[in-house]
């Protein structure tokens, strides 16, 4: 918000050094954003946080300066002389929608001379409006005065041409559906229920809190003026503004909440200036509908709480000075506490802690030391962090780069691959990035898109992984989030399976990794699998199908996998235990067996494990070979190696041979396999 330096001098001495003032304001709550000369004046740009609507006017800013520099603050006390006739004879006001407008006041001035505003007024308004709107021009003295008072105290006002108010009665109500209205900006707006309108007998004359009407605006031909000073509901004003895409300095202030007492002051001030500058006579009294301001409750500040919250003590005299100069009225005080009634323009001060914040910011945050003796506390790394660290360490060590991609994707990506859930994917009301409004149920499409982007940049090696969540719809219950590791490589199924196995080994996971067939269109029908860890669903792995490659614009083969971090955490052995290392040598035997094509390695391995006895150390797959001429169709040869070791003695060659015979026999019986010579 821009304030004029010359204007501020009206209320507080502005002799201090400009830079020092700007720094001081930044350090105490009004962040200085810039200063620009306008004519002989300075336009000072200050950031006003949403909890300080009292600073949305020059008097509020002047008050801050007065407190900071311990200077007197001089505020006008408008008491415009009124003539004998009552305003209530000229206008009546009724509020039909108190939830949209809690108070509406009106004053009437007769016989004004509408013309150009005096120089001093124009200069002040120019300083604060022209920098943001170079086309700004004053309107006329009456309208300019309403803007002046708005920017003086922060209370929005509106002036109507009284002759244009049909029936001399104002009704404040909710707009009807599709009610049309032409505003001062000469646009016609289509109003809806929920919006507040000020109406006369014929219809809307203003959108409450936002903008007045073209028909009833004050012009050169206006003689009698109605001054509106009201309180409109913050939420309603904001939603009206947004819905109509119509914003004004008035709507801005109503959104943030107004001082209920300020309504009357602003109305009197406006009338006083109009009488002074435009002439005319003010009718007696103020027509006042709706609820009056409620008396504020006192707030007690226990002095020992200051050091408890801030860590520093502040002398009681300082505390009292600061509170008083900010407008709080001290009701009682002793060595332990101060009781105050906060001013009506500070609705943000209602608790002890709010007062403590005032003390802190005016006294100065630089007084708070930064070398306190902070006690130590224990903190340990979580298990899931430890697991994640190892996962990242293995994957980067093997050559994968870590990627990060958006959690929200387009609908077709979400529907093309969702192996974890068949429920409808979750969507946002508002899209996040171009058309993306679906919470992703899988990391794979995002990884494939990363492949495509890298491909288009001619990066030849694309090995990526991402650790992130996917989001699954659970109907009425809060959506489920699963933490996954997603990986993509240009290599094949077995390469990626090897990487996953490596993760399991590094985490010392004993659990059995098993595969099941799976049907997912994105993946190759055979070269893909559902992964299980000790029987629980662990993940999905597969080479991308031709259709999948096409869908994602990929020119070369890719393999993808996604696994659950939770299962890794469940089975990981984070504190490996030493076990005795055998002093006995191991002995190995190769086996070349021929089986039907349909027999899986998992089956063979299982049979070997069951039949080899306690001395079995490892079963290792070596290779597959097919020779239809020798073995017939649909047969394959599997070469495997078995190592054995006994803890008690050195095993003999004969013992190893016997075990091999047992294994071969079991393979023959259970799987129909034969040993080759």
Q: How far is the CB of 400 from other proteins (least distance, A)?
A: 4
Site string for other proteins, 131-160 (x = CB under 8 A): ------------------------------
Q: Which two tokens stand for residue 597?
A: 């094509």
Interaction pattern, residues 412-451, with other proteins; x per rule: CB under 8 A: ------------x-xxxxx-xx---x-x----------x-
Do 236 and 101 form a contact (C-beta atoms < 8 A)?
no
Q: Hey, is 420 helix, strand or coil? A: coil
By the 8 A CB rule, do 175 and 152 touch?
no
Q: Tell me the Cα Rg of the chain.
A: 40
| Residue 525: its H or E element | strand 523-533
Compare residues 82 and 558 and give the one whose CB is closer to other proteins: 558
121 by DSSP, 3-state: which? helix
Report the distance separating Cα 124 and Cα 642, nearest Å: 95
Q: Which stretch binds other proteins (CB under 8 A): 34-42, 92-100, 110-118, 390-398?
A: 390-398
- State the CB neighbour count (10 A cutoff) for residue 328: 24
The CB-of-558 to other proteins minimum distance in angstroms stands at 14
How many Å apart are CA 597 and CA 321, to the nearest integer?
A: 93
Q: Is 187 in the site for other proteins (CB under 8 A)?
A: no
Cβ distance 66 to 325 under 8 Å? yes
Angstrom distance (rounded) from CA 93 to CA 102: 13
Query: What's the CA gap between 661 and 611, in Å, rounded?
Result: 10
Residue with tokens 């790394």: 381
The single residue among 136, 365, 621, 625 that binds other proteins, judged by CB under 8 A, is 365
How many CB atoms within 10 Å of residue 406? Answer: 12
Give the residue among 527, 555, 556 at the shortest CA–CA distance from 541. Answer: 527
Distance CA 645, CA 656 (A): 9
Regarding 614 and contact with other proteins (CB under 8 A), the answer is: no
142 or 484: whose CB is closer to other proteins?
484
Choose between 461 and 614: whose C-beta lies nearer to other proteins. Answer: 461
For other proteins, which residue of 20, 176, 336, 404 counts as binding (CB under 8 A)?
A: 404
Q: Which span sits near other proteins by CB under 8 A: 96-104, 354-362, 491-499, 612-620? A: 354-362
Give the range of 11-19, 259-267, 292-300, 394-402 binding other proteins by CB under 8 A: 394-402
634 binds other proteins (CB under 8 A): no
Beta carbon of residue 294, minimum distance to other proteins (angstroms, whole number): 18
- Give the footprint of other proteins on residues 47-86 (CB under 8 A): 49-52
- The residue behind tokens 């109003």 is 191
| Of the candidate residues 219, 313, 459, 505, the single one contacting other proteins (CB under 8 A) | 459
Least Cβ distance, residue 356 to other proteins (angstroms) = 7
- What residues contact 377, with CB distance under 8 A and at least 6 apart? none
Residue 19 touching other proteins (CB under 8 A): no
Q: Which of residues 253-282 bind other proteins (CB under 8 A)?
A: 255
Establish if 398 lies at the interface with other proteins (CB under 8 A).
Answer: yes
672 lies in the binding site for other proteins (CB under 8 A): no
Q: 């660290």: which residue's tokens?
A: 389
Q: In degrees to the nearest 10, what's the CA dihedral of 387, 392, 393, 394? A: 90
The pair of structure tokens assigned to 253 is: 């202030």
Among 405, 421, 545, 643, binds other proteins (CB under 8 A): 405
Residues 568-607 that bind other proteins (CB under 8 A): none
Is residue 41 part of the contact set for other proteins (CB under 8 A)?
A: no
What b-and-e string marks burial along 480-510, b requiring 16 or more CB atoms within 10 Å of the CB?
A: eebebbbbbbeeebeebbebbeebbebbebe
Residue 400 is a binding residue for other proteins (CB under 8 A): yes
Nearest-angstrom CA–CA distance, 231 and 100:
9
Task: Give the x-and-dash track for 215-234 against other proteins (CB under 8 A).
Answer: -------------------x
Binders of other proteins among 476-535, rule CB under 8 A? 478-479, 481
Among 454, 545, 586, 617, the residue binding other proteins under the rule CB under 8 A is 454
Beta strands in 271-371 (DSSP E): 281-284, 287-290, 299-302, 329-333, 337-341
Distance CA 626, CA 255 (A): 79
Interface residue with other proteins among 4, 28, 171, 250 (CB under 8 A) is 28
CA distances from 227 to 105, 118, 152, 205, 297 (A): 8, 20, 16, 13, 31
- Nearer residue to other proteins within complex by CB, 307 or 547: 307
**From candidates 43, 263, 462, 599, binder to other proteins by CB under 8 A:** 462
When binding is defined by CB under 8 A, the residue of 16, 73, 246, 312 that contacts other proteins is 312
Stretch that binds other proteins, among 96-104, 125-133, 170-178, 453-461 (CB under 8 A): 453-461
Select from 84, 461, 580, 614 the one that contacts other proteins (CB under 8 A).
461
**Which residue of 81, 177, 295, 376 would you call a contact of other proteins, by CB under 8 A?**
376
């Amino acid at each position: 918000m821009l304030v004029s330096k010359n204007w501020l001098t009206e209320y507080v001495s502005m002799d201090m050094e400009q830079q020092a003032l700007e720094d001081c304001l930044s350090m105490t709550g009004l962040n200085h954003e810039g200063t620009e000369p306008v004519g002989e004046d300075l336009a000072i740009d200050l950031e006003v946080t949403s909890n300080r609507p009292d600073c949305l006017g020059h008097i509020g800013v002047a008050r801050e300066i007065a407190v900071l520099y311990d200077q007197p603050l001089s505020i006008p006390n408008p008491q415009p002389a009124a003539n004998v006739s009552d305003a209530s004879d000229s206008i009546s006001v009724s509020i039909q929608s108190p939830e949209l407008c809690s108070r509406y006041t009106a004053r009437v001035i007769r016989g004004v001379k509408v013309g150009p505003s005096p120089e001093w007024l124009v200069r002040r308004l120019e300083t604060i409006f022209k920098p943001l709107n170079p086309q700004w021009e004053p309107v006329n003295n009456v309208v300019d005065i309403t803007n002046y008072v708005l920017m003086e105290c922060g209370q929005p006002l509106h002036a109507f041409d009284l002759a244009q108010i049909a029936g001399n009665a104002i009704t404040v109500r909710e707009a009807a559906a599709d009610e049309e209205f032409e505003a001062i900006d000469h646009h016609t707006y289509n109003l809806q229920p929920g919006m507040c309108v000020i109406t006369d007998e014929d219809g809307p004359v203003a959108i409450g809190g936002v903008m007045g009407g073209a028909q009833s605006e004050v012009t050169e031909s206006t003689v009698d003026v109605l001054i509106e000073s009201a309180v409109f509901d913050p939420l309603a004003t904001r939603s009206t503004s947004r819905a109509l895409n119509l914003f004004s300095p008035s709507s801005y202030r109503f959104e943030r909440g107004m001082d209920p007492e300020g309504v009357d002051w602003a109305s009197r001030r406006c009338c006083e200036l109009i009488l002074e500058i435009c002439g005319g006579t003010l009718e007696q009294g103020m027509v006042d509908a709706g609820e009056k301001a409620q008396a504020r409750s006192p707030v007690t500040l226990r002095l020992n709480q200051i050091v408890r919250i801030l860590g520093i003590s502040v002398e009681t005299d300082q505390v009292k000075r600061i509170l008083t100069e900010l407008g709080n009225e001290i009701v009682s005080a002793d060595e332990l506490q101060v009781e105050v009634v906060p001013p009506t323009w500070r609705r943000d001060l209602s608790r002890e802690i709010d007062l403590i914040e005032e003390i802190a910011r005016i006294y100065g945050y630089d007084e708070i030391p930064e070398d306190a003796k902070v006690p130590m506390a224990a903190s340990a790394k979580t298990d899931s962090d430890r697991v994640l660290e190892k996962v990242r360490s293995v994957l980067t060590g093997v050559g994968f780069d870590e990627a990060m991609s958006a959690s929200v994707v387009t609908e077709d990506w979400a529907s093309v691959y969702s192996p974890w859930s068949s429920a409808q994917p979750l969507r946002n009301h508002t899209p996040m990035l171009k058309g993306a409004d679906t919470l992703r149920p899988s990391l794979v499409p995002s990884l494939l898109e990363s492949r495509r982007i890298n491909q288009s940049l001619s990066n030849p090696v694309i090995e990526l992984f991402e650790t992130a969540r996917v989001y699954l719809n659970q109907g009425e219950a809060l959506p489920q989030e699963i933490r996954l590791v997603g990986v993509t490589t240009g290599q094949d199924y077995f390469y990626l399976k090897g990487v996953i196995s490596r993760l399991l080994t590094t985490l010392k996971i004993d659990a059995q990794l098993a595969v099941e067939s799976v049907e997912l269109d994105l993946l190759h029908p055979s070269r893909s699998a559902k992964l299980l860890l000790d029987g629980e669903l662990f993940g999905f792995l597969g080479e991308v199908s031709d259709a999948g490659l096409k869908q994602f614009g990929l020119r070369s083969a890719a393999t993808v996998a996604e696994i659950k971090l939770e299962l890794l955490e469940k089975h990981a052995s984070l504190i490996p235990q030493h076990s005795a290392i055998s002093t006995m040598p191991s002995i190995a035997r190769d086996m070349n067996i021929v089986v039907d094509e349909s027999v899986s390695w998992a089956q063979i391995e299982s049979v070997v494990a069951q039949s080899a006895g306690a001395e079995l150390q490892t079963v290792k797959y070596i290779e597959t070979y097919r020779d239809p001429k020798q073995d017939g169709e649909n047969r394959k040869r599997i070469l495997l190696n078995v190592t054995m070791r006994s803890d008690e003695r050195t095993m003999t060659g004969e013992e190893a041979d016997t075990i091999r015979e047992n294994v071969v026999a079991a393979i023959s019986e259970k799987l129909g396999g034969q040993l080759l010579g």
